[in-house]
Amino acid sequence: MAETETKKNTKKVTKKVTKKATKKTTKKATKKSTKKPTKKTTKKVAKEEPSKVDVETEVDNKAKEEAEKKKKLKTKKVKIGDMVSVDIRGKTIEPEDPKREIVFQASNPEDAQMLPNYDPKKLEQYVPDLAIIGKQGFITDSIDAVIQEGIKYFEEKIIQLEPADAFGERVGNKIEKVSAKQFKKDMNEEPRPGATYKDKKGRSGTVLRAAQGRLLVDFNHPLAGRKIEYKIKVIDCIEGFDNQVKALLGRRMPGLDTILNEFKIKHIEKESILEIELPQMFVYQIAQQQGGLYFKMGASMDIQEHLGIETVKFVEVYAKPPVPEVNHDEHDHDHHNHDHDHKEK
C-alpha cells in the first residue's frame, strides 16, 4: 500500500513539474516570437521613411536652383510668347483725396492686406497672375502691351491709365430702372442699396437706390470714370512642357500650388495626346465640389489652345486600400496558451 501511494504521489509531482515547465517554455517562446517580428517591422518602416537630412538637402538644392534661375532671368528681357508669372497691384488714383484710393487687385499676401475684402484665411488666392505675353485672356491688355514694349524680369514698372484706357468713362445711360419684383426673381433675394444685380443679358450692376418697388441700378463698371495705377513685376518664366501644363492647371483652381507636383503627366507626342493622372486626394476634393467639371473643361481648353494638344485625358485612379497585416505567430501562441490553461483547470 505504501509503495502504491508513493508511486501516485510521484506521478502527481511529475505532472505538475511538467506542466510548469511547459508553461515557462510557452511563455518564453511567445515572448521571443513577439519580439522578433517587431524588430524586423521597425527596420522596414525606418528604411522607407526619408531621413531629416535627405529632406533638408532636397530643400537646400531647390533653393539654390531657384536662386540661380532668378540670377539668370534678371539679365533677360521678357519676350512675346513667354509664359510668365506677373505680380500685379492695382489701385485707383485720387490726387485731391488720397484717402479715397482703393486697392482692387493684389497678387501677393503683402499687397492683399490693403484690399477692402482681404481674407487672411484665403491666402492661396493672392498669387501672381499667369500670362502668355501677346495672347489675350490672361492679363489686362494695357499691362500686356507695356510688357511687350520691353521690360526685364524682376524690373518693377508703374503704369497709370486714364479712365478711357482703364474701365471706361462713366456713362449716364447705363443707369437704369429695374422693378423690385424682377430683382427678386433674378437674384432670389431682397433688393437693397449696394447689392449686385445680374440681368438676363449677363450684365452686372450695382443697386444705387431702392424705393416704392423700383430700383435704380448702375451698370457702369464699379471703377468706371476713375484713373487707375498698376504696379507690375514679371517674377518668373515657366519653361518646359510639364511645368507649363501644371501652370495652366493651377490657373483654373486657386490653391493647387501645394500639390501640382503630384499630377502625373504623360505626353504622347505622335498622337498629340496628353494624359493627366490626378492625385487621389484631389479626386476626392473635386468630387465634393461642383467646380470639378468646369476645372477639367477649362484646363483642357487652355492646354489645347496654348500648347497645341489635340486630346486631353484626365485619369482618376481609385486604388484598393491595403489590408492590415495579421501576426499569425502571436495568434497561434495565444491559442496554445488557452489550451494549456484549460487543461490545468
What average pLDDT does this structure show over 266-270?
Answer: 95
* Residue 281 confidence (pLDDT) above 90: no
pLDDT of residue 326: 73
Q: Distance between CA 312 and CA 276 in Å, rounded?
A: 8
Boundaries of every domain in the chain:
172-218, 240-345
Q: Distance between CA 108 and CA 268 in Å, rounded?
A: 36
Fold held by 172-218: Thrombin, subunit H (2.40.10)
pLDDT averaged over the chain?
84
What average pLDDT does this structure show over 133-149?
Answer: 95
pLDDT of residue 63: 86
H or E stretch at 132: strand 129-132
* Residue 32 confidence (pLDDT) above 90: no
More confident residue, 171 or 23: 171
pLDDT of residue 311: 97
Q: How remote is the C-alpha of 175 from its chain's centroid?
A: 40
DSSP one-letter code for 98: G
Per-residue pLDDT band at 342 (split at 50, 70, 90): low
Per-residue pLDDT band at 14 (split at 50, 70, 90): very low
The three-state secondary structure class of 35 is helix
Residues forming beta bridges with residue 177, ordered by sequence position:
216
Stretch among 108-112, 210-214, 300-304, 316-320 having the lowest mean pLDDT? 316-320
What is the full DSSP assignment across 182-219? HHHHHHSS---TT-EEE-TTS-EEEEEEEETTEEEEE-
What average pLDDT does this structure show over 181-196?
Answer: 93
More confident residue, 63 or 240: 240
pLDDT of residue 131: 97
Q: Distance between CA 258 and CA 236 in Å, rounded?
A: 17
Confirm or reject CATH 3.30.479.30 for domain 240-345, answering yes or no: no
DSSP one-letter code for 314: E
What average pLDDT does this structure show over 61-83?
Answer: 92
Residue 124 backbone dihedrals phi, psi, to 5 degrees: -65, -15
CB 125 within 8 A of CB 254: yes
In terms of C-beta density within 10 A (0-12 exposed, 13-18 middle, 19 or more buried), how is residue 147 classed? buried
